[in-house]
Amino acid sequence: MQPKDLPAPSNRLTCPSCGNDKDFYEIAEDVTITTHYIQNLDGSFTPEEDTSQILGEIRLICGRCQEDMSSSYQHFSEMLF
């Protein structure tokens, strides 16, 4: 059996406007990003740890037609690995 012969998973997100099922954007508003850096001997910096705190709305946007798909955000976030 070839990969192209396998059935498509039933849990894939698809944009209702354009049918896109590959490219999406997550947009978060009012975000604080804190990054701890170590300065190296040559003067460059290496990030050691970063944390983010989202205080505002999070939206899911179709990467092809920019349709707001935020109603599917819960499913999207459950499928992040």
3-class DSSP state of 62: strand
Please report the DSSP string for 3-29 in residue order: GGGSPPPTT----TTT---S-EEEEES
Query: What pTM was estimated for this model as a whole?
Result: 0.71
- 49 vs 72: CA distance, rounded Å: 30
Print pLDDT tens along the chain (81 aa). 566 666 666 789 999 999 999 999 999 999 999 999 999 999 999 999 999 999 999 999 999 999 999 999 999 999 988
* DSSP code at position 37: E
pLDDT of residue 28: 96
